Amino acid sequence: MKRTFTLTRDDLIYIENYQRIYKRVLREAKKRDNDRNVTESVHRTKTMWQLINREIGKGPENEQKLELRIGNKFISNPAEITDKLITHFISTGRNGKTKDNRIVYNVKIKQCPNSIFIYPVTEKEPEREAHCR
């Protein structure tokens, strides 16, 4: 199943520039945070190795328990959670399908005229959109 978004050329250029700026800002913030962690650390060598291991994906084991609540039922099996989420998101997109099994979204991006950023989205807006379909 393919998703197709109908955006104007200007919107695509705007998104591309926004993503490029966001990546640069994120990269610089990460560098500054790592530098600050090393300079403030008592054991600088240990801190450097922790940063290296985190960057290459050898971080400490994550022991957070993942749970999904559907109604009154709690699901903690990761495979079952994945199935429920896939089912949910596939069923919400069924209304926009075309004959060749693609989902078409006609999206107009609201741009803030005073900045280069897109208007922030609250957590209520996606909920409202999901209930409308």
- pTM of the predicted model as reported, rounded to 2 decimal places: 0.40
3-state secondary structure of 10: helix
Are 66 and 76 in contact, with CB atoms under 8 Å apart? yes
pLDDT tens string 58-90? 766 666 777 888 888 888 888 888 888 888 777
pLDDT value at position 44?
Answer: 92
pLDDT value at position 76?
Answer: 86
Distance CA 104, CA 5 (A): 6
Buried b (16+ CB within 10 A) or exposed e, 58-83: eeeeeeeeeeeeeeeeeeeeeeeeee
Report, in this order, helix, strand and coil percent for the chain, each rounded to 5.
55, 15, 30
Residue ranges for the chain with pLDDT beneath 70: 1-5, 59-63, 91-133
Which helix or strand (DSSP H or E) is residue 54 part of?
helix 44-55
pLDDT value at position 42?
Answer: 92
Longest Cα–Cα distance of the chain, Å, equals 63
Which tokens in the block code for residue 27?
Answer: 């990269």
Residue 36 Cα distances to 13, 87, 104, angstroms: 35, 44, 46
pLDDT value at position 20?
Answer: 92
Which tokens in the block code for residue 80?
Answer: 């079952």
Can you give the residue ranges of every domain in the chain?
A: 2-63+97-132
